[in-house]
Structures are given as C-alpha cells and as structure tokens.
Structure 1
Amino acid sequence: MKFYDELQKQRWDDHRFYHHNRINQFLHLLSACCFLASYVLVFYYPAAAALVGWLLAMTLRQTGHFFFEPKTYDQVNQASHEHKESVKVGYNLQRKVVLLSIWALVPVILFFEPSFFGMMQEHTEIMSFINNMAIIWLIVGFVAVIFRTVHLFKLMGVQSGLVWFTKILTDPFHDIKIYHKSVYHLMKGEMYDDMTDWYEETPKAN
C-alpha cells in the first residue's frame, strides 16, 4: 500500500470506529482548533503550548472518546468494541488510560520533587511550578508520539509508523475539515453519524 493510501485508511478506520457520536465530533472540532493554537504557541511560548494542548485540546478530545462514544456492538461497521480496540493503530482507550495517568501524575511528582529528580530548576512560586509542569507535559506528549511511532516500526513496518506519525500531526487540520458541520447535525437532532456518506466516498477503505 502506498503512503498516501495507508494514511487515508488509517484516517478512515479511526473515524468510523471511534467517531460515531456527533458530540464527540464537535468536541474534536474544538480540540483541533486548540491544537492549531498550540502549534503556533510552541515556537514562541512552549509552556503555553503545552497547557493549551493538554488542558484544553486533550481534555476535549478524550472527553468525547470516553464519555460519548458507544462501547456496545458497532452495527454500522459490524465490529465489537474489543475488536476495534485490538486493531487500533495508535493509542486505543487502554493505552490512553496509561498515557493520561502519566500526565496526571506529573504535577503530583513535581510537587514533592520540585527539581523533578534534578532535571529542572526548582520552582519557587506558583508560576514557576506551572511553567515547569507545562514543559514536562510537552516532553511527555513528544515522547508518547515518538514511542508509539518507533513501536509501530517494529509491529507494522517503518512506513506504517511514519504514516501514523503523519496522521497524528495533521489530525487537527483533518478534524476541522471533516467535523466542521458537526454543530449543524446536532442542531438537526442527529446524535450519531451513520457513516453512509463516508462509505460511499471511501470505497477502498470499505
């Protein structure tokens, strides 16, 4: 499979398996806008980029996944939740729990270890604590993406790992493209996407 074709397939599988709920789609739209803000901020204020990325973008994104997406049998795709979790290329819900646990532990560890085991200058007041915490969060996010990419090199091959890496970086742009009408659908009273249009438009991924 060529690089672009595999990228489209990974995007399609991610959408059809994990983005049925219109509220989840709307939260992903908001999350995508926050991530784009982070992409700009990271070049000027890295700590601010991490705060926007983790506290806003990731919170909105994962709220949609954990609280609004159905975990029952997927009639549209004829797949169980367990099957979808097993074929998820990136971070499935179980892996996300581990990642989010690490994220949540950072401020706790930093509170008791102000230098974060000698890796940072000790904070002396609340603003320096927040700055140090944000920088560590930025590193956690970077390491999480690189770790899974390299892991996929071993599991699926170098191209698949690079495809997933590309997908993750471009997800905010793609989410805005495909979920910008989510509010319109919600106002019409549509709670779930039946994926009809997607199956018609992406025959290769079907």
Structure 2
Amino acid sequence: MTFLEELQKQRWDDHRYYHHNRINQFLHLLSASCFVISYGLVFFHPAAAALVAWLLAMTLRQTGHFFFEPKTYDEVNKASHDYKESVKVGYNLNRKVVLLSIWALSPVAIYLEPTLFGLLTPAQSLAGFISNTALVWLFIGFGAVIFRTVHLFKLMGVQSGLVWMTKILTDPFHDIKIYQKSPYYILKGEMYDTMDDWYEEVPADQRA
C-alpha cells in the first residue's frame, strides 16, 4: 500500500473496531475540539496546552473507550474483542492503562521529588507545581507517540510507524469531520453505528 492508502486503512480499522457507540463518537468530537485548542496553545503556553490535552481531551476520549464501547463479540466486523485488541496498531486498552497510570502517578512523583532528579526547577507555589506537572504531562504525551512510532518501525516497518504517527497527530481534525453528526444520531435514539456509510466509502480490498 502507498502511505495514503495505509493511512486510510488504519483510520478505517480504528473506526470500525473501536467507535461503534454514538456516545463514544460524541465524546471523541468533544475531545477532538479540545485537542485542536491544545495544538494552538502549545506554541504559546505549553503548560496550558498539556492541561487541556490531558485533563479534557484525553479524559473525554478514554471515557468513551472504556465505559461506552462494547466489549462483546463484534457482529459487524465478525471479530472478538480479544482479536481486536491483539491487532490494534496503536495503543489498545491494556497499553492505555499503562500510559494513563504513568500520567496519573507523575504528580505524585513530582511531589516526592520536586526536581524530578534534576529535570525541573522546584516549584515554590501551587501554581508552580501545576506548571511543572503540566510540562511533564506534555513530555509524556510526546514520548508516548514517539515510543510507539519507533516500536512500530520494528514490528511493522518504517512506513507503518510513520502512518500511525500521522494518524494520531491528525486524528482531532479527522474526528471532527466524521463525528460531527453524532449528537444528531444520539437525539434520534440511534446509539450504535452500523458502519454502512463507511463500508461504501472504503475500497473493497481494505474492508477485511
């Protein structure tokens, strides 16, 4: 596959396997909007960008995955939850638990070791502590993307790793595009996406 074909396939697999629930889609729409704001802030207020990204965007996004997405057998794609977890290109639920645990425990680490072993200037106030925590969260976010990208270089090849990194970085804009109608479907009482529209758009050789 070309780079763009593989990008389309990764997006398609991510959508069809992990975004059946309309509430999850709506939470992704909100999350994506927060991420776009975070992208704008990172050039001027990196700490604020990290707070928006982790406390708002990531919380909304992962709430959708952990609490609303069904974990039963996927009749639409004829796949078990365990199978989908095993073929997930990016962070599956188990990897997300590890990542979110690191994120949640990092303020504790900063509290116990204010300089974080010489990496930070010790905070003199609550505002300073929050700022230091936000900067560590920013590093964790970038580090998680780079780590998985390099890992995918080894597992699937350089192109697949770069495709995934591109997908992750552009997901906010893509999510806004494809999930903007999720509130409408929820109001209609349609709680699950049948994927019919997407199956029509995706080339036949990329559907399986």
Q: TM-score surpassing 0.5?
A: yes
What secondary structure does 1:77 align onto? Answer: coil
Letter in 2 for 1:187: L
Could you tell me the TM-score, scaled by structure 2's length?
0.98
User: Once the two structures are superposed, what CA deviation does each residue of 1:57-106 show, in whole Å capped at 9, x if it has no partner?
Assistant: 00000000000000000000000000000000000000000000000010
Counterpart check, 1:87 vs 2:78: no
Consecutive unaligned residues in structure 1, runs of 5 or more: none
**Structure 2, unpaired ranges of 5+:** none
Distance in 1 separating the partners of 2:173 and 2:101 = 27
Equivalent residue for 2:120? Answer: 120
- What displacement does 1:201 show? 1.4
How far apart, CA to CA, are the structure 1 residues paired with 2:182 and 2:27? 9
Which residue is 1:70 aligned to? Answer: 70
The answer to whether structure 1 residue 180 and structure 2 residue 189 are counterparts is no
Which residue matches 1:16?
16
Q: Secondary structure at the match of 1:78?
A: coil
Asked whether 1:25 is paired with 2:25, we answer yes
Letter in 2 for 1:144: A
Q: How does 1:124-139 map to 2 (within 5 A)?
A: 124-139=124-139
The Cα shift of 1:197 comes to 1.0
Question: Percent of aligned pairs with the same residue?
Answer: 75
Per-residue deviation, 1:128: 0.1
What is the match of residue 54 of structure 2?
Answer: 54
What per-residue deviation string (whole Å, max 9, x for no partner) do you get for residues 41-60 of structure 1?
00000000000000000000
**What is the TM-score when the length of structure 1 is the normalising length?**
0.99
Structure 2 residue identity aligned to 1:91: Y
Give the aligned residue type for 2:119.
M
Between the aligned partners of 2:198 and 2:44, the Cα distance in structure 1 is 38
Q: Which residue of 1 aligns with 2:199?
A: 199
3-state DSSP of counterpart to 1:7: helix
Mapped pair 1:167 → 2:167: yes
RMSD of equivalent CA atoms: 0.5
